[in-house]
Structure 1
Amino acid sequence: MMLGRAMDYQELDDLFNELWPIPRSITGPGITQSLKILQRHIPFEIKAVASGTKVFDWVVPPEWQLNSATLYTADGEKILSTEDSNIHILNFSEPYSATISYEELEPHLYTNKTFPETVPYVTSYYQRRWGFCLSEAQKARLDKTKKYRVEIDTKIYPGNLRYGDLTLKGKSEKTVLLTSYLCHPSLANNELSGPLALVALYKELSKQKNRYYTYRFLVVPETIGSITFLANTEKSELDKICAGIVLTCLGGPAKKVTFKHSRRHWVGEPSEIDELVESLCMHDSECFEQRPFEPTSGSDERQFCSPTINLPVIQAARTPYGQYDEYHSSLDNKSFMRISAVLDSISKLCMFIRVFELNRANLLPMLAGGEPMLGKRGLYPTINSAQTKRMSSDKIVDGREQLNILLNVISLIDGKRTVKEIVEFLEISYDDILSTLEPLLEQNLVRV
């Protein structure tokens, strides 16, 4: 089902191209620049927390700035440079300038022997190191008898960790958290697909009338950003979060959106969003699948779901981290992550969020006494004959299936059932019930 598309292919493609070349990290001008670009689309407040601030068991790190980094032979031949790719530098590398032997250089070269033609993305945020990332094939071509000149122009200095935060008010203070991370440089599926989806979801939800839930949009550097947000947000505000979704890896080649459950589901504590995921993946299995919560891997859901926080926050992905060979490498680019796949993920997530909105309470009929007159609303054939069953305007082959779903749904809207309960009773898909409910809601025949 395609809900209203707030951003088209070209808009997302342009945003991707603008964000792609920026040398991001968990702090520094790269993430600040990226947040300001996103701020044009989501008018969030960019919050700053000073380096050295204690955030739970962690400390906010200093800022890191990459100016340039190049490896040469001693006679001036360029081997690699961040001018070619900004993942050639060990992320958060300290500055270094010297002419050294291969033996001195080799411990500072990072490769992935499993995939020798790719440049790996490697970080060292909390331990001072310098280094370069290159393919195993590039490394094998280095002459071990030569000397090499290292020029790493980076800056590490006290500053701030920054993140974007916006609350989109609804009728209720109950809040759905929608969040993604922004800290990886020049990685597509693992980095930019999440923020692209977040921007599109904001534009979709901001134009919707009569939002029941409040939506909080959050863009953070991964792990330390979510920890900093949690440490600097009042408990009364966190207590309003009734559900949340971490958006990541939404542009890969897989066909389905996969939901990773929250910790509550893992430990047997009921959560509305986890229960809806189970039902959705059963009744719309062609579009969605589920994964269990695992504390041994993952993204920011691990922080939102940590035992003393324990928010019902799930994760949405398409081709998740660790499940594709291009992960954290130079091959995670736009050839791997397709804008069309991100758009498809956005459409599926819009459907899920819309169902979550409608599933908050039982459905009630607005009219008393008999069925509503569907024909005058364009929802029922206006000619009654033996051929009527083939005159329904829906696209189903038998010409009647969608109409039958409509009549069944109307018969179950009695103030005693939620959307989820109707789907499970009729054994239909959520796509079908949304197609049925939307015109009924628009014409004030049903209310939640």
Structure 2
Amino acid sequence: MSVSEYQFLDKIFDDLFPICRSISGPGLEASIAYISQFMPLTVTKVTSGTKVFDWTVPPEWHFKRARLWGPDGNLICDSDNCNLHIVNYSEPVDTEITLEQLQPHLHSIPHLVDAIPYVTSYYHRTWGFCLSHQQREQLSAGTYRVKIESHFDENGGVPFAQTLLSGESEREILLSSYLCHPSLANNELSGPLVLIGLYHRMLRWPRRRFSYRFLLNPETIGSLCFLSQHHQHLQQHLEAGLILTCLGGPSANLRYKASKRGDSLFDRYIGQLADKDDWRMEPFTPLYGSDERQYCSPGFNLPMGQVAKTVYGVFPQYHNSLDDKAFMDMDSVIDSINQLEQLLLSAEISGKALNLKPYGEPQLGKRGLYPNINTPTNRRTSSDQLLDGRQELNAILTILSASDGNTYMLDIAKRLNLPLASLRQVIEKLEQHQLIRFNTGETL
């Protein structure tokens, strides 16, 4: 981690955190526009009222401010102080009501007395305020003033934003995160921060075997809007993908939720890492999670998994005001970037390779890959190499023998009883000498 990278992401967090985002509207669009300073995003907006599979794109929510005054005239809730105070997608209200009438519109968390909950009502018109349970318990009988300044635009829409880092192949890795929550840290901004960090890391890679698509969208409806326009392209070109969520909490290891298919590059590779306790891995389930539920639905069944660190639903700060910068440590975000970059680098060499000189063993000596004088003194390479001379030669011969276009390099590494990362230099040498080529879906 560099100091400049930390400061870069830290400032992005500070600038994005106060914005009141939702699944549509000015807050979301301002956030996408801000992030486009750091990634060249192309924005598509699907118009309100559009049928998207079994869903209808909702009207665009324009929210200005929400305030609640008590019987004594004192201000109890003000969204200018905390945008979690408003039930997201609340309809406009300007009225006076009793405490008894107000209570059904109030939300708090009894077991977290100081936390302000995050509550939404996207597809059912209502209104409400969120406040700490301690504050709610102190409300007294009387007449309350409610003022919610909002409106709905039937001609608005739901946006999604994407960019593509082209590689040597048209086969794609999709990296996606959601952007739709207001001031939440781990459960909102950690995913986009990791996405931005990975984009800048990968810009510096000397080569990319795959192409990488980066996607930001509001959760659920945004991914459905994206799929409605791009599912055929994904069916043809998607190698594997990851939904990035909750990547800034205090947990040490990343948790991977497999795709429903269970056969993607990430499913295979992380399955082996999990055997060595480097990752946690869970099977696919539609009961909890994020946009992987849409990608893995039966009509698409795409090879999309999900990766998280401090996982949604299991930390007390989930969906409330305690999920702030103090909980989401920036060092943890950068650690997630580091781990995911290594995962992607390994995924680049974990697929199926084809031996381009398959008739007998190619002459390795003339390529400097086999000792022309075979003595005990030349069987070990310099000490800075990952593999000694005999290991490297064994790896070369085994890779060439097994590279039939149908065998994963990951399985070849397992056969050699070596970590896949330790084979990177050998694989690159074989590619440089045009002895193997990865089968990334095109005609070889």
The verdict on a shared fold, with TM-score over 0.5 as the criterion, is: yes
Report whether the alignment pairs 1:178 with 2:168. Answer: no
RMSD: 3.0
| 1:336–1:447 distance in 2 versus 1, CA, 3 Å | farther
Report whether the alignment pairs 1:275 with 2:265. Answer: no
Report whether the alignment pairs 1:295 with 2:281. Answer: no
Contact 2:350 2:410 in 1 (8 A): yes
Q: Mapping of 1:336-351 within 5 angstroms?
A: 336-351=327-342
Q: Distance in 1 between matches of 2:288 and 2:331?
A: 27
Report whether the alignment pairs 1:427 with 2:422. Answer: no
Q: CA offset at residue 433 of structure 1? A: 4.1
Contact 1:6 1:204 in 2 (8 A): no
Q: CA offset at residue 437 of structure 1? A: 5.0
Deviations 1:293-336 (A, max 9, x none): 11111100000111001101000111110121111010111111
Paired amino acid for 1:41: F
Moved more, 92-101 or 27-36: 92-101
Contact 2:173 2:240 in 1 (8 A): yes
Q: Distance in 2 between matches of 1:13 and 1:444?
A: 43
Partner of 2:258 in structure 1? 261
| 1:8–1:409 distance in 2 versus 1, CA, 3 Å | farther
| 1:405–1:332 distance in 2 versus 1, CA, 3 Å | farther
Q: CA offset at residue 194 of structure 1? A: 0.6
Q: CA offset at residue 209 of structure 1? A: 3.6
Q: Distance in 2 between matches of 1:413 and 1:438?
A: 8
1:264 match: secondary structure: coil
Q: Distance in 2 between matches of 1:441 and 1:342?
A: 35
| 1:171–1:304 distance in 2 versus 1, CA, 3 Å | same
Q: Mapping of 1:21-60 within 5 angstroms?
A: 21-60=18-57
Q: Distance in 2 between matches of 1:424 and 1:198?
A: 30
User: Identity over aligned residues, as a percent?
Assistant: 41
Q: Mapping of 1:100-249 within 5 angstroms?
A: 100-143=97-140, 145-158=141-154, 159-233=156-230, 235-249=232-246
Partner of 1:321 in structure 2? 312
Q: Distance in 1 between matches of 2:423 and 2:364?
A: 23
Q: Distance in 1 between matches of 2:388 and 2:34?
A: 43
Q: CA offset at residue 78 of structure 1? A: 1.3
Q: Distance in 1 between matches of 2:294 and 2:4?
A: 30
Q: Distance in 1 between matches of 2:244 and 2:226?
A: 16
| 1:345–1:71 distance in 2 versus 1, CA, 3 Å | same
Partner of 1:92 in structure 2? 89
TM-score by length of structure 2 reads 0.87
Deviations 1:13-34 (A, max 9, x none): 1111111010000000000000
Paired amino acid for 1:420: L
Q: CA offset at residue 153 of structure 1? A: 1.1
Q: Distance in 2 between matches of 1:151 and 1:441?
A: 69
Q: CA offset at residue 238 of structure 1? A: 3.8
Q: Distance in 1 between matches of 2:58 and 2:395?
A: 55
Q: CA offset at residue 70 of structure 1? A: 1.4
| 1:303–1:370 distance in 2 versus 1, CA, 3 Å | same
Aligned residue pairs, count: 424
| 1:148–1:242 distance in 2 versus 1, CA, 3 Å | same
Paired amino acid for 1:199: I
Contact 1:51 1:61 in 2 (8 A): yes
Deviations 1:401-427 (A, max 9, x none): 878865654453425254312331233
Paired amino acid for 2:341: C
Report whether the alignment pairs 1:65 with 2:62. Answer: yes
TM-score by length of structure 1 reads 0.86
Paired amino acid for 2:411: E
Unpaired segments of 5 or more residues in structure 1?
375-383, 395-399
Contact 1:96 1:152 in 2 (8 A): yes
Q: Mapping of 1:367-378 within 5 angstroms?
A: 368-370=363-365
Q: Distance in 2 between matches of 1:8 and 1:408?
A: 40
Partner of 2:345 in structure 1? 354
Partner of 1:380 in structure 2? none
Q: Distance in 1 between matches of 2:420 and 2:150?
A: 51
Q: Distance in 2 between matches of 1:75 and 1:112?
A: 25
Paired amino acid for 2:236: D
Q: Distance in 1 between matches of 2:224 and 2:294?
A: 6
2:159 match: secondary structure: strand
2:114 match: secondary structure: coil
Contact 1:363 1:415 in 2 (8 A): no
Unpaired segments of 5 or more residues in structure 2?
370-376, 438-444
Partner of 2:372 in structure 1? none
Q: Distance in 2 between matches of 1:297 and 1:351?
A: 27
